[in-house]
Chains A and B, each alone.
Chain A
Amino acid sequence: MSAASATTAASAELATARLRPRRARAPLGEGRARVAKAVWLGLVSLYFVIPLAATAAFSLEGEHGSYTISAYTQILSSSAFSSAFLLSLRLAIETIVLAVVLVVPTAYWVRLRLPKLRPVMEALSFGPFVVSPVVLAVGVENVFRKAPSWFIGSPNILVVLYVVLSFPFLYRALDAGLRAIDVHTLTEAARSLGAGWALTLWRVILPNLRTAIISGALLAFAIVMGEFTIASLLLFNTFGVYIETVGMTAATGAAALALISFALTWLAMGGLVLVLGRAGGGKGSVARQVQIGVTR
């Protein structure tokens, strides 16, 4: 289906471009080409909507063809759900705080005083895509197997690793944010008025990077709330792991959880688009920041 209609869309586009003299304000896609493109987008969106709709229908299935919301009420009232969900929520908040504390001053400092380090930061920001979560889990097990149990045996280790997974997104957002402001002038102005480094960072730089920090934080939130690989391999019962456990026993419950998780992702990404839209980031800014979204 896909290949055939794709060719139609492309050739229709070419045909109209050749045959019709273009009117003054006519956009590129026109007439038949516009229809072909709309049809193509419609077909593609079916592929995305059907699984969601079917999952919703499946999650509401009761006995003998009836419909019920019991899958949702059961999950939301179970203590396993709330403890796993709250654990992930806690991890997400801790990850965001640690990542911001670690990365914001570094990104600022590199921009201001250590421009030679920028290629290193760029390279490190691709690190988590080369050392994928599975490999990272293996490596961490190698290196920290004999570490004290308050570190390796507690969810603290997950926070530490989620900071690594979130780093590319936060750094990219901050890099764009720092490029948009005149870091040197702002810093010199603050310093010449007598502000120390900490005060400069807190009162001058940080407010200017609000958009970047919020969007980085929302991406980190989406990553942590859905993370399964590292948590399950290091044997922690996070929200992601809980969803998988439910899937082993309750099919409708798993479908309900899939939808809840989808809604959470919407919440984070919708917030991201809102924040960036208000900041007037332009067409490509969202795309540029979530580009390499898949770390699972």
Chain B
Amino acid sequence: MTALTDAPVVVDEAVGTRRPRPRRRSLAWLGAVPFLAYAFLFLVLPGVSVIVSAFQNTNGSFTTQWVRDLFQGQFLSANVNSLELAALSAITGGVVGFLAAYAVVTLGRPRWLRSFVTTFSAVAANFAGVPLAFAFVATIGSEGAMTKLLENALGVNISSFNLVSVTGLVVVYTYFQIPLMVLVVAPALDGLRREWREAAANLGASATQYWLRVGLPVLAPSVIGAMLLLFASGFAAYATAVALTSGLVNLVATLIGNYLSGNVIAQPQMGQALGLDMLVVLFVAVGLYLLLQRRASKWVR
């Protein structure tokens, strides 16, 4: 997660070019060819093919019709739902996760707390997809264990809460968003040095002033960047949504899946256009994350 360029690169360059052997250097590029070819074939090429196909008719001629259709009807509402889901789950997970990470980092004791939370976060952030969806169905679904327990013990009926909705998905996605936030933001919190706080206090700053003028400005790039990352993962998530909703909630990810698996036969090119749609959203979110990360790395050791 370091900046794209850093000091060692310069050093390496100096060492690498110390020996003036032009023939060797031309051969050195060959060493990277297998990997680059692989990445081109199975990552870049598929990505580019989606972009190109989104602008093609079935006979191969150029058209912008599919892309224009993205802003209409069912496709527009899928975008609205997906953006809403990604944003809400990123904000909820971001705020809760940030405060949890802050608590863990500043509590310090007991010693095992930090490593336990990190491990658990690593597990929970990776516990996405189908199993996560089923866990929530088994918990607060209409027949879920928690639903029954609340009904029998307290007489509280939560069966009206619908997991198959954008709100339901937000509740489920938060399960992997919070730990993801903890993992991404904890190093930034480590970078917040105690001396700054003491220096501010010595200069007569109140705690509020410290946070407004020092703490938050230093943390802002990391926190916003982390939330953009959560946004991207919320927008791209497919497995959890499919397992939970079977496509009943209109989302970009599940619509793409419907086109690809042939559940929708009309206008097959819309699958490509929706793919482009997701590609653009993720590119913007991840790109902004990287820019902010570069800014944040000034403070994070």
Q: Which residues of A contact B (CB under 8 A)?
A: 2-3, 6, 9-10, 13-15, 17-18, 27-29, 34, 37-38, 40-41, 44, 47-48, 50-52, 54-55, 57-59, 61, 102-103, 105-106, 109-120, 122-124, 126-143, 160-161, 163-164, 167, 172, 179, 184, 222-223, 226-229, 232-233, 235, 240, 243-244, 247, 251, 254-255, 257-259, 261-262, 265-266, 268-270, 272-273, 277, 283-284, 286-288, 290-294, 296
Q: Does B154 count as interface, using CB distance less than 8 angstroms?
A: no
State A120–B232 Cα separation when bound (angstroms).
21
Q: Which residues of B contact A (CB under 8 A)?
A: 1, 4-5, 8-9, 12-13, 15-16, 25, 28-29, 31-32, 34-36, 38-39, 42-50, 53, 92, 95-96, 99-100, 102-104, 106-109, 114-115, 118-140, 143-146, 149, 174-176, 178, 180, 183-184, 186-187, 190, 194, 197, 206-208, 211, 229, 232-233, 236-240, 242-243, 253, 256-257, 259-261, 271-272, 275, 278-279, 282-283, 286, 290
15 A-B residue pairings within 8 Å (CB atoms): A27-B109, A48-B178, A103-B35, A106-B35, A113-B28, A115-B13, A129-B282, A133-B236, A134-B236, A142-B53, A232-B239, A269-B126, A287-B184, A288-B1, A296-B128
Please name all residues of chain B whose beta carbon is closer than 8 Å to the beta carbon of A259 when the two chains form the complex. Answer: 131, 135
- Counting chain B CB atoms within 10 Å of each CB, the highest count among A15, A120, A266 belongs to A266
Query: Which residue of A is nearest B25, CB measured?
Result: A113
Are the C-beta atoms of A52 and B135 separated by less than 8 Å?
yes
Are the C-beta atoms of A44 and B122 separated by less than 8 Å?
no
Please name all residues of chain A whose beta carbon is closer than 8 Å to the beta carbon of B48 when the two chains form the complex. Answer: 139
Taking A18-B207, A48-B120, A288-B1 as contacts, is the C-beta distance between A277 and B129 under 8 angstroms? no
Tell me which of A34, A55, A128 contacts B138 (CB under 8 A): A55
Please name all residues of chain A whose beta carbon is closer than 8 Å to the beta carbon of B13 when the two chains form the complex. Answer: 115-116
Please name all residues of chain B whose beta carbon is closer than 8 Å to the beta carbon of A228 when the two chains form the complex. Answer: 129-130, 238-239, 242-243
Are the C-beta atoms of A143 and B49 separated by less than 8 Å?
yes
Are the C-beta atoms of A3 and B95 separated by less than 8 Å?
yes
Please name all residues of chain B whose beta carbon is closer than 8 Å to the beta carbon of A139 when the two chains form the complex. Answer: 45-50, 275
For residue A257, give the distance in angstroms from its CB to the closest CB of chain B. 7
Taking A55-B138, A139-B275, A293-B183 as contacts, is the C-beta distance between A134 and B256 under 8 angstroms? yes
Are the C-beta atoms of A290 and B145 separated by less than 8 Å?
no
State A247–B109 Cα separation when bound (angstroms).
42
Tell me which of A2, A160, A270 contacts B119 (CB under 8 A): A270
State A262–B256 Cα separation when bound (angstroms).
27
Taking A119-B5, A136-B46 as contacts, is the C-beta distance between A40 and B34 under 8 angstroms? no
Name the prevailing secondary structure of the A interface residues. helix
Are the C-beta atoms of B107 and A37 separated by less than 8 Å?
yes
Are the C-beta atoms of A113 and B238 separated by less than 8 Å?
no
Are the C-beta atoms of B123 and A240 separated by less than 8 Å?
no
Are the C-beta atoms of A54 and B180 separated by less than 8 Å?
no
The 8 closest A-B pairs by CB, nearest first: A139-B46, A132-B236, A54-B139, A37-B103, A58-B138, A258-B131, A106-B35, A293-B125
Tell me which of B45, B47, B128, B282 contacts A294 (CB under 8 A): B128
Please name all residues of chain B whose beta carbon is closer than 8 Å to the beta carbon of A132 when the two chains form the complex. Answer: 236, 238, 253, 278, 282
Query: Which residue of B is nearest A266, CB measured?
Result: B123
Are the C-beta atoms of A40 and B135 separated by less than 8 Å?
no
State A2–B16 Cα separation when bound (angstroms).
54
State A33–B185 Cα separation when bound (angstroms).
21
- Counting chain A CB atoms within 10 Å of each CB, the highest count among B131, B186, B197, B208 belongs to B131
Please name all residues of chain A whose beta carbon is closer than 8 Å to the beta carbon of B145 when the two chains form the complex. Answer: 54-55, 57-58, 61
Are the C-beta atoms of A126 and B290 separated by less than 8 Å?
yes
State A179–B12 Cα separation when bound (angstroms).
11
Please name all residues of chain B whose beta carbon is closer than 8 Å to the beta carbon of A37 when the two chains form the complex. Answer: 102-103, 106-107
State A69–B43 Cα separation when bound (angstroms).
44
Are the C-beta atoms of B129 and A102 separated by less than 8 Å?
no
State A272–B119 Cα separation when bound (angstroms).
9
State A143–B50 Cα separation when bound (angstroms).
9
Query: Which residue of A is nearest B178, CB measured?
Result: A44
State A128–B232 Cα separation when bound (angstroms).
12
State A2–B31 Cα separation when bound (angstroms).
53
Query: Which residue of B is nearest A254, CB measured?
Result: B134
Are the C-beta atoms of B286 and A240 separated by less than 8 Å?
no
Tell me which of B28, B42, B47, B136 contacts A135 (CB under 8 A): B47
Are the C-beta atoms of B175 and A291 separated by less than 8 Å?
no
Query: Which residue of A is nearest B12, CB measured?
Result: A115
State A292–B237 Cα separation when bound (angstroms).
13
State A113–B14 Cα separation when bound (angstroms).
10
Please name all residues of chain A whose beta carbon is closer than 8 Å to the beta carbon of B243 when the two chains form the complex. Answer: 228, 244, 247
- Counting chain A CB atoms within 10 Å of each CB, the highest count among B104, B127, B211, B290 belongs to B127
Are the C-beta atoms of A130 and B279 separated by less than 8 Å?
yes
Please name all residues of chain A whose beta carbon is closer than 8 Å to the beta carbon of B125 when the two chains form the complex. Answer: 290, 293-294
